[in-house]
Amino acid sequence: MTRESAQRVRTPRTIGVRKLLRPRVSLGFELVAFAAWAVLVSPVVAGRMHGADGATHTHGSAGAVEPGGSPAGFGASGSMDLAMWTLMSLAMMLPAAVPVLEHVGTNSLRRRRQRAMATFAAVFLAVWIGYGALLLGLAPLWSSLPDEPVLASALALAAVWQLTVHKRRALRDCHRSSPLPLSGRPAVAGAARFGLRHGGACFRSCWALMLVMAVASGTGGGTGMLGWMVLLTGIVTTEKFARKPRRPTQVAAAILAAAAVVAALAFAIT
């Protein structure tokens, strides 16, 4: 093949296709997030297919099913709820961390790439699991109150937090990268330190949104809980991928405020 023919073959379109087909360094973690969604969605789908009469309680797994085919809510009992929270964290927070995982993978030596990414992801998720354990301990404070006012309060708090300077600073910190050592213990420590730093920044940005998720999952399961998961995951991911996240943050604040009003009105009407 001549040089001219090689140049004809390497058009922008073929380069784009080759880039699209190139294996993604973060593919394994994307599949983990997809699997977490599948585990959370499958009991609801199965419950709707079999109807309320065919719904059963499933014990000993993170996908516990309540009557009607709904996943067990947050704040009901023990390790089952922490397992559910871990699944929700994987499903909701891991997709937003994909760009950072790609940064860790591409800036690590090939032979230790997966180890560095796994270290980062483990520390990053540990931040959210720790937050879930804290909320599990605090759940009795709101579980005895009427559902709608608690949910409306959590939504209003999240809407206000979206507009604060602390939210903007935390979101800016979520977009910051970090240099990583290439080998040895410094490489492991660097990936762990970056995971803790990034997890802390994302926690400061999204703690109020995940509080809404904890309250919403405790006030009802099934399709409603999955609806909240989709909405909040969309907010988190949009803010993380947007080049100018201030506008999506403001739009999310308006959506959360409107949802708070709807929840408050629902309680007032009943």
Domain ranges, ordered by start, for the chain: 25-269
The three state secondary structure string of 184-231 is HHHHHHHHHHHHHHHHHHHHHHHHHHHHHHHHHHHHCCCHHHHHHHHH
Share of the chain above pLDDT 90, in %: 37
Strand partners for 71: 65
| pTM for the model | 0.78
Inter-axis angle of helices 147-162 and 165-174, nearest 10: 70
Cα–Cα distance between 168 and 201 in angstroms, integer?
Answer: 11
Is it the case that residue 21 has pLDDT exceeding 80?
A: no
Radius of gyration of the chain (CA): 21
Query: Residue 244 carries which DSSP code?
Result: S
Cα–Cα distance between 79 and 92 in angstroms, integer?
Answer: 20
Asked if 100 and 180 count as a contact pair (C-beta separation under 8 A), the reply is: no
* pLDDT, position 257: 95
Q: Which run of H or of E encompasses 24?
A: none
- Among 149, 265, 136, 143, smallest CA distance to 210 is for 136
- For 166, residues 6+ apart whose C-beta sits below 8 A from its C-beta are 204
Lowest mean pLDDT among 5-14, 60-69, 97-106, 159-168: 60-69
Is it the case that residue 52 has pLDDT exceeding 70?
A: no
* pLDDT, position 63: 43
> For all residues of the chain together, what is the average pLDDT?
79
Q: Tell me: the pLDDT tens digits for 157-186?
A: 999 999 999 999 998 888 887 777 777 788
* pLDDT, position 219: 65
* pLDDT, position 222: 66
